[in-house]
Amino acid sequence: MASSFATQPIKDSVAKVNDEVAVGEDLDFQRKWWKFEKGVWIVFTLILALDLLGVFGRGWAAKAQRKAADGSIDVKYERIERTSTPSILTVNFDKSAIRDGEVSLYVGDSLVKQLGAQRVIPSPQTTAIGNGGLTYSFPATQVPASVEFALEPTGPGLRHFVIQVPGSAPVEGDIFVVP
Amino acid sequence: MYTIVHAVLGYFFLLLTVRVLSRRPGAQLTLFEFVIVFLIGGVIILSTVGNDRSVTNCATAIIAVGLMHRFVAWVKSRWPKLGEIIDGTPLVLLKNGEYQMEVMRGMKIDPEDIMAAGRTKGVNSIFGIKYAILERNGAISIIKAEE
């Protein structure tokens, strides 16, 4: 049995140029598109300029520094991070933070989980869990003394962190992780 | 799941970027434009698959991109106006011995590009071309002037 196909008579529907060549040109649309193109390139240029400034992380605008109210620690970090991209958060200790030849440092869970702390430099002597975070202790002599956290955020979003020497004022901050 | 989201976002971002690059990266590909196509493609792969280089992840990304392509093709056939936005419309570059300068400037096409298309049709002079039309795929169609 022969199969039947759907058919439709052809129509001269394509717009002609000079009434002789069927092209289907739409110059009005094209002029609007060129305007749109210009807008897109302006946005693209703006994105690159903002990126050079560090608005999307890894630049001048992303760098931040916070000091505890009592001056016990000073934290240098990037307020804008990128997902799965390594960065360093540095904690500088004041001499008041060194007690009996060691410093203790409490960090909230978000630093380890959401901000993806991969390692602590130097390695802590002890690590204790509790109070919604980890408390590290490091042997220390005198200032300058610092500890670095190698971060690698696991996903985008706004992350809050808390770092403090137990018994001293905390440093709190927010880090925005871009995709 | 992130791979699928990244693949879909990457597809549309790439579509927009290539579309606003004007139509030259189509059939009129020169070595200069090859660089753009390969570089953009390579960069988008990094963000799509991320650190997960498993076969499962790569297969998911390929399927997602394939489905997006099919979806966009369906949208184009269903709504021709959207087809105009995605592919553009044919544009007349040369008409009856006159370059259409607004179109040529807008599409970054040089007279040399038109002549190159003419030579493929056996035309040996610009005066032998009556119409030159930039097609949606980036090719330039030539209609010869009558002898």
pLDDT at B4 (0 to 100): 87
Residues β-bridged to residue A89: A149
- Total domains in chain B come to 2
Q: Based on the domain organization, do B115 and B81 belong to the same domain?
A: no
Cβ-defined contact of A25 to B90 (cutoff 8 Å): yes
Residue linked to tokens 């049995």: A1
pLDDT of residue B43: 85
Q: Which percentage of chain B shows pLDDT scores above 90? A: 31
Domain shared by B46 and B113, yes or no: no
Sequence-distant (6+) residues with CB within 8 A of A145 are A92, A93, A97, A98, A103
State percent of chain A over pLDDT 90: 45
Q: Most B CBs within 10 Å: which of A11, A27, A28, A38, as the mutation test of the B interface? A: A27
Interchain pair B91, A25: CB under 8 A: yes
Residue B25 has a pLDDT of: 43
Pair B76, B24 in one domain: yes
Model pTM? 0.75
DSSP output for A13-44? -SPEETTTEE----HHHHHHHHHHHHHHHHHH
From CA B3, how far away is CA B58, in angstroms rounded?
A: 8
Q: What is the extent of the structural domain holding B130?
A: 91-144
Q: Does the pLDDT at position A44 exceed 90? A: yes
At residue B26 the predicted structure's pLDDT band, cuts being 50, 70 and 90, is: very low
Identify the pLDDT of residue B142. 93
B contacts of A23 (beta carbons < 8 Å): 90, 92, 133
Q: How many domains does chain A have?
A: 1
Interface of A with B in 76-105 (CB under 8 A): 84
- The answer to whether ipTM exceeds 0.90 is no
* Residue A23 and residue A14 in contact, taking contact as beta carbons nearer than 8 Å: yes
In a domain, A15, yes or no: no
Q: Is the dihedral of CA B130, B132, B135, B137 positive or negative?
A: positive
